[in-house]
Chains A and B, each alone.
Chain A
Amino acid sequence: MSTNRHPIEQEELMAYLDGELSADQATEALSHLELCPECQTLAADFRGVSQELLAWEVESPEVGISSELNAALGERLQKRQAAKVTSSRLENRVITSRWVWAGALAIVCVVVGLKLTLTSHNRSEDRSTAYPSMASIEQYLMPDRDAEIALARSAAPEAISSDAKILVLGWRGYETADEGKNGFVCMVERSWMSPFNSADFWNPKVRVPQCFNPAAARSILPLTFKRTEMVLAGLSKAQMIDSIKAGFDNKELPRPEPGAMCYMMSRAGYLNDALGHYVPHLMFYFPLTDKSSWGADLRDSPVTLNPQFRDGPEPITEFVIAVGKWSDGTAAPAM
């Protein structure tokens, strides 16, 4: 392959497929790859090799914590506990002479008070800067494929999710782990499905199990694939927003189909640092709609407007209705 004809080297193309290029380089590689049949063949070869290697699976026995490991663990935790007790005793000795140190403590209190005020101020600043950029890709992946499958299925009651198609996130995007047979698709969304201005957009802890009904699998899920593909290619938020807008303009991305909805009833999900597991709920998707048409966000209304796509590039309105039980049938806290 001549570098005169190709703006990227073959090694760079491989690095692009591995998600190892910077955003600018990835954009250049992607642009070239879309137009160059020769590079498409090479990319297919690389993907083929990776696929072949997957054949070599190693069946893991149900390895538990061995007695030796358990003993070492117990010893370590015991030592740790002993260290805590010692530290606590030392602390008590200091406290017994409290009258002597009363004056000094008063000063300490003033200093601590000031520090707490400052910390509280800093925390509110940290909230918007905790995840300023994308973490390494492996932080968004789940090393245990079976755990991701189980988490995906937990989005909906078993009667739905046991026959659903299951997707898991791999290095090159979402992969099918189970074909399913009822038209529903369960998967675990990552932080980049948050609003673009969300403080959690790059939060690698986010795991959002969702189970889309067939209409949503056809018309909403492509948005997840689109964002994921761009994130893994290293595109900036601005580039992603532009690309999504263009996708809707040129009809590459679909509008929500009538009846599109999804289940979010997992008790094991993690929506973001503020909401944690949140509450079990259902989501309904529409082309841009005034929230008053559903009475959303009105006093005592069970319907709320989800901010996921609000003011975003996707022309979608999403309503949320909380339900009383998690997918496993256990009672959920009130919203």
Chain B
Amino acid sequence: MLRRHRRLRLLAAFTAVGLLATACGGGRDDDDSASDEGSGENGGAPAEVPGFDGETISLGVITPTSGRVAVIGEPLTNGNRAYWDYVNEELGGVAGQYPVELVIEDSAYDAPTAVQKYNDMKDSVVMFNQLLGTPIVNALLEQLTADNIVAQPASLDSFWVREQNLVPIGAPYQIQAINGIDWWVNEGGGSADSTICILRQDDPYGEAGLEGVQFALDELGIDLASEATFPVGNPDFTAQISQLQGAGCEMVWLTATPTDTGGALGKAAELGYTPQWLGQSPTWIGAFVESPLLPYLQEHYYWVSEGPEYGDTSASGMSELMRIQEQYAPDQEPDIYFNFGYLESQAVHQVLERAVEMGDLSHEGIIEALNSIEEFDFGGVFGNYGWGAPEDRNPPRANSIFEVDPNKPIGLGLLVEEHEAPFAADYEF
């Protein structure tokens, strides 16, 4: 009995030692592994560089596949996967010759883990197809700048617009707020005398919504009547709803995530408070269609995002998205994050095509290719993004408004397509 225990303990000891030993995997390949002769002649086949072995292009993805953000990370990654499966199988890869491989690592939504994964991967990928999480992107931005690698941040924060090493897509949160407020005041039932308020998360995402709201209200000459904040995962919204109710808000701009949307609007429904809610794009999730909150949402909630309704095939990009989803991700339900993942891969694809054209897939080559693109075209699913050097970038300035319709996919039906406030173009990034 004792002997068996001892052997088990010895076994555990040797395993521990073995674990440490295998950590020291491989010798040190002497540096300068990034042989920078990638600056080939225009039109020539790109030289081999980190992430490109002459045949396959490797792209990095650092995303949470566990924890509370996995509900966003997974459909996003599925969108990435579906798009590249389509490119590899139907187009033969980038420029018809170079298939793309996604290297997917889990970040656990934890900055040190993400930084570690980034460092593990940075010498074996050409660029990053997806980095999810504002704190993750912030932490990695230093490294990206130092290593001169390009990444696609999977969020609509405005900080990314002027970063050389980032490829943001979509109209940022501030623009959503600007267009949403302008539309409601002028066409959606409000007026210049309306009491407008905001309910937001107490973090940078919430602050982004506030900035947009404040900008729009300043332009319209309206005062913000009340600002209510809440921590993520707030168990009870009575205080916030009471505050808004007390201020007599007729319209409330909502900057939150689905769980808190449910909590806040649920409490509002219970307390009998019925302003017009306008929510930013992350506030919605398909599960609301089966929630007891549905009737309240149908009457009092609009969703602000971009592009056409899901299923509206008059936009070429939309019909293609749907076809690719059905073929390469058949188990995926229509999901706004899947769409985002698909679109960000589309953007990355355009960058890679240009880089191959210019004959250089090295990190520096990607940057050059990136700056030489004039506009990102998303086939109407997202607004086209004016591109160029970082100082010249111009995000899309129009948003679409949706209402809740349980009969439509994702539960949202288009109300107004591509509304642009007259002053939306004036917002400076």
The answer to whether A and B come from one shared complex is no
Binding site for B on A (CB under 8 A): none
